[in-house]
DNA sequence: ACGCTAAATGATAACTGTTACTGATTATAA
DNA sequence: TTATAATCAGTAACAGTTATCATTTAGCGT
């Protein structure tokens, strides 16, 4: 499959150099439908670039976020998760295994959020984050049997 | 003033021992209308219990959260913030000074959220977190002048 | 009131996630 | 091809938090 969806060219356009390592981080993020942590990206990337360092993974993830090609999800305890999709959307996070998934939310949420924003008088709101937390199907299944 | 709203008795009821330190952490959280970090709680508590240790502050904050008398807000980078109010409500976080405030949101948000939850098929959703991020009035004022 | 004992403490070491620094590589332009 | 600046691997440093352990202490029974 295409893998990075032409993102490598875009990174290049913005003045960045397209190294093997950067491309690998990018591909890893784009090819996975989960929202991996930096450590998980590191593990994935090591399959194709075995001697990459953790620091490089962190640096490239940060760069992708700065360039606007990924977003960082730093809710919850522990490590940040990274998401190849940029548009703001809802997530669900498992309190047991800390997995994060996307939620397809109807746009009906938007007007409600506008109203909520109005409550923040004097603030310049630039983003919103909506997250549900609970047990994912796998973890709630395990819980059932005990 | 009452300070801890009788929480010390409740802690005691649940089998915990009410030490000077625990009471001080509790009072500090209840007496402040902000959402302090553990380090900020530590500073407040040191005024009344000068030789308390950071570890004890962390321990008691965790205990209060486990007992259901406080909640931990661990969105965003850096340290967690703690909130003496337990009921789930919206927050706004300043991306500059990382201050967190409560938002009074009309209950009209609830039906929209129900719908959103329905998108998480197979999940047992136990909580939701809605957070707006942007610049607080003070920080956006500073930004204006540069 | 007085000890007993488990819970809680202070001090500090260890740990996790992340960033900064180093000299060595390497992608890109000329 | 060569020059050079961005990026790299490796590692040390950092912040926030948790664990460990010897000491203290709250709350119980007597």
In tens, the pLDDT along B95-117 reads 888 899 998 776 667 777 777 77
Which three-class secondary structure state does DSSP give residue A43?
helix
Label residue A109 by pLDDT band (50, 70, 90): confident
Q: Is B134 on the interface with A (CB under 8 A)?
A: yes
CATH 3.30.450.20: does it fit domain B7-73? no
Q: What is the DSSP string of chain B?
A: ---STTHHHHHHHTT----HHHHHHHHHHHH-SS--BHHHHHHHHHTTSTT--HHHHHHHHHHHHHHTS-EEE--SSS--EEES--S--EEEEETTT--EEEE---TTHHHHHHHHHHTSTT-EEEEEEEEEEEE-HHHHHHHHT-
Label residue A45 by pLDDT band (50, 70, 90): very high
CATH topology of domain A90-144: Dna Ligase; domain 1 (3.30.1490)
Q: Give the CATH number of domain A7-81; options: 1.10.760.10, 3.30.565.10, 1.10.10.10, 3.40.50.150.
A: 1.10.10.10
Which pLDDT score, from 0 to 100, does residue A15 have? Answer: 63
Which pLDDT score, from 0 to 100, does residue B2 have? Answer: 37
Which pLDDT score, from 0 to 100, does residue B15 have? Answer: 65
Question: Residue B21 CA to D28 C1' — how many Å?
Answer: 21
Q: Give the CATH number of domain B88-139; options: 3.40.50.1010, 3.30.1490.190, 3.90.550.10, 3.30.1380.10.
A: 3.30.1490.190
Least confident segment among A91-95, A140-144, B9-13: B9-13
Average pLDDT of the segment spanning B105-132: 80
Average pLDDT of the segment spanning A69-76: 88
Name residues 49-78 of chain B within 8 A of A (Cβ): 74-77
Q: Where are the domains of chain A?
A: 7-81, 90-144
Q: Is B120 on the interface with A (CB under 8 A)?
A: yes
Which pLDDT score, from 0 to 100, does residue B80 have? Answer: 95
Same topology for domains A7-81 and A90-144, yes or no? no
Q: Are A119 and B125 within 8 A, CB to CB?
A: no
Provide, rounded to the nearest whole percent, the portion of chain A with pLDDT above 90: 32
Average pLDDT of the segment spanning B12-30: 86
Average pLDDT of the segment spanning A79-94: 87
Per the CB < 8 A criterion, the answer to whether B124 and A140 are in contact is yes
Which pLDDT score, from 0 to 100, does residue A10 have? Answer: 63
Q: Are A95 and B126 within 8 A, CB to CB?
A: yes
Does residue B4 carry a pLDDT above 50? no
Which pLDDT score, from 0 to 100, does residue B3 have? Answer: 40
User: pLDDT of B28-78, one tens digit each?
Assistant: 999 998 999 999 999 999 999 999 999 999 999 999 999 888 999 988 889
């Amino acid at each position: 499959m295409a893998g990075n969806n032409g993102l490598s060219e875009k990174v290049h356009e913005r003045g960045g150099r397209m190294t093997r390592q950067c491309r690998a981080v990018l591909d890893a993020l784009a090819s996975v439908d989960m929202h991996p942590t930096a450590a998980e990206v590191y593990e994935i990337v090591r399959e194709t670039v075995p001697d990459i360092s953790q620091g490089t993974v962190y640096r490239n993830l940060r760069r992708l976020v700065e360039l606007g090609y990924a977003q960082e999800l730093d809710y919850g305890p522990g490590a940040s998760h990274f998401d190849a999709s940029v548009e703001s959307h809802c997530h669900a996070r498992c309190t047991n295994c800390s997995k994060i998934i996307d939620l397809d939310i109807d746009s009906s949420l938007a007007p409600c959020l506008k109203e909520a924003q109005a409550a923040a008088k004097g603030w310049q709101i630039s983003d919103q984050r909506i997250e549900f937390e609970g047990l994912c199907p796998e973890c709630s299944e395990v819980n059932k049997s005990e």
